[in-house]
Structure 1
Amino acid sequence: MNEKQKKSISKFLSLILRHQPEVIGVTLDENGWTDVDELIAKMNASGHRLSFDELEEVVDTDDKQRYAFSPDGNKIRASQGHSVDISLGLDPTAPPEYLYHGTVSKFLDSIRKEGLQRMSRQHLHLSRDKDTAVTVGSRRGNPVILNISSGQMHRDGFLFYISDNGVWLTDHVPAKYINF
């Protein structure tokens, strides 16, 4: 499978496992898991040809580790980024003193007024390192990296979680915790 094919499958998996499982008729349980065999069968029935070995290759080689198999390998889910109502079952965790968020300049006025919002997703995504934030911000143009005073937020009572693939999650970052 070439890189273009893997990227196409990964994008479709993201749609199904994060946002619209109904597109192919799969169901996500309360923790976002769905049956691997059912996912493959329904992807194939919808014209998105996929074998178990190809699915495994996409999951194993994804640069952001967006997807995870259950310990027994029978189920799969997205590691974070859901707009559908699920619970990843993550425990609140104390974050490092600073986290980072990559964005672009056209959003800065809104962020200065309202802070960072989760928008249609269940959580707002933050990065532990600037390089990851640069990559995220670059998807929409020239990146602007925001330094988040996550340690102070935590001390002030805000909850943080860390996903299986190392993305820091929270519900909102008020502007007063953002160093522009």
Structure 2
Amino acid sequence: MIRRCQEHGYFRGENCPECGEKGRYLLDDEREQRLGRFVSGALRHFPDDLGLQMDLQGWVDLDRFCAVMKKRYPWTSEDRLVGLVESDTKKRYEIEDRYIRARYGHSVDVDLDHPVCDSEFLYYGVSQEEVEMLLDQGISPIRQTYVHLSTSRQRANEAASVHTDNPIVLKINALEASEEGIEFICANEDIALTEYVPSEFISIEDDD
């Protein structure tokens, strides 16, 4: 559920985590999920099918987006869309200067202009069956425009656990890779993006 506290802004849940106030209702769980699926599809995968023009950095005009959104779901509004974006703990989207975009997760061609990631190491969670191949061939995008890396071992393990019961975390020497011309950009504090990770910068992360 998404609500809005008059003092602290949008939040998810029954009560504002800052002050405990109930706040103003915006979206219940079902409508939050329905709107979330629409936003993901429109900004990551098929903007053209919805008549949305996306620039090279992934931005879509907010007014046009809201018009298409309201035509599909009459119960939506710009306020509810903003609430979805600003209350999202995964920080999947951003709104700026009357434009909206996904920060990551694209399958359409984009050239995102996020800031350069300066982490010394990044992490990538995989299944046991994938480890040998990736250590040999490197990491390429799968059904997405960018390789999505995690900024911590814990986040990588959590991401891989969605797909496998026994994840293995690979460690990326991002500092050395950057010195060799591989660029990593920060989608948010948890996710870094790159076009390809060569095998020489990949090792298996120790459990210690």
Name the TM-score class by shorter chain.
0.7 to 0.9
Greater relative contact order structure (CA < 8 Å, 6+ sep):
1
- Higher-Rg structure is 2
- Work out the percentage of aligned pairs sharing the same amino acid: 29
Q: TM-score, normalised by structure 2?
A: 0.75
Matched, 1:88 2:99: no
Question: Of the candidates 99, 103, 128, which is equivalent to residue 122 of structure 2?
Answer: 99
Select the structure that is richer in helix. Answer: 1
Partner of 1:131: 154
Equivalent pairs, count: 177
Partner of 1:110: 133
Cα distance in 2 for residues equivalent to 1:103 and 1:135? 10
Partner of 1:169: 193
Cα distance in 2 for residues equivalent to 1:47 and 1:9? 8
Task: Answer whether contact 2:125 2:156 (CA < 8 A) is retained.
Answer: yes
- State the superposition RMSD in angstroms: 2.1
Cα distance in 1 for residues equivalent to 2:149 and 2:41? 21
Matched, 1:35 2:58: no
Q: How is 1:1-180 mapped onto 2 (pairs within 5 angstroms)? A: 1-47=27-73, 49-70=75-96, 72=97, 74-90=98-114, 93=116, 95-142=118-165, 143-164=167-188, 167-180=191-204
Give unmatched runs, 5+ long, in structure 1: none
Tell me whether 109-118 or 45-54 shows the greater mean CA deviation.
45-54
Cα distance in 1 for residues equivalent to 2:39 and 2:117? 30
Give unmatched runs, 5+ long, in structure 2: 1-26
Cα distance in 1 for residues equivalent to 2:196 and 2:169? 17
Q: TM-score, normalised by structure 1?
A: 0.86
Cα distance in 1 for residues equivalent to 2:86 and 2:43? 16
